[in-house]
Amino acid sequence: DAGVIQSPRHEVTEMGQEVTLRCKPISGHDYLFWYRQTMMRGLELLIYFNNNVPIDDSGMPEDRFSAKMPNASFSTLKIQPSEPRDSAVYFCASRPGLGDTGELFFGEGSRLTVL
C-alpha cells in the first residue's frame, strides 16, 4: 500500500508569495494531521481533521495559514502571504481512527524555504 504522499518535496519561494502544500493520506484513514517542524520548536501540530472535518486548528499560527480537506483523499495547507519565518518542514500524517493503535503514519515532508 502507498503511504502518505506529500508534494512538493521542496519549495523555495520569495516572501509574499502564496504557498500550497498537498497531502494524500493513506486510503481508509479517518484522521489527517498537519505538523510543522523547526529546529527551535520541534514538531508542532497545526491542525487535524476527522472524516474531512477540521477538529482542532488551534495550532495554526495566524490567518495567513489555512487548511482544507475537500475529500477523504486530499488535503491542502496554504500560506498566503508567506514570510521567512514560515521556513520549516511541513509534515502530513494520517491514522486509521477509533480503536487503532494511535500510530501516526507520516509523509516524507515538504521542506519550505521562504527567502
Partner 1 sequence: RKEVEQDPGPFNVPEGATVAFNCTYSNSASQSFFWYRQDCRKEPKLLMSVYSSGNEDGRFTAQLNRASQYISLLIRDSKLSDSATYLCVVTPDKLIFGTGTRLQVFP
Which residues of this chain interact with partner 1, rule CB under 8 A? 33, 35, 41-43, 45, 48, 56, 91, 101-104, 106-109
CA distances from 15 to 19, 46, 79 (A): 10, 21, 11
Q: Which of residues 65 and 109 has its CB atom nearest to partner 1 in the complex?
A: 109
Q: How far is the CB of 51 from partner 1 (least distance, A)?
A: 15
Q: Are strands 74-79 and 65-71 parallel, antiparallel or unpaired?
A: antiparallel
Q: How far is the CB of 37 from partner 1 (least distance, A)?
A: 9
Grid cell 474531512 — which residue? 52
Q: How far is the CB of 34 from partner 1 (least distance, A)?
A: 12
Q: Which of residues 54 and 81 has its CB atom nearest to partner 1 in the complex?
A: 54
Start-to-end Cα distance in the chain: 37
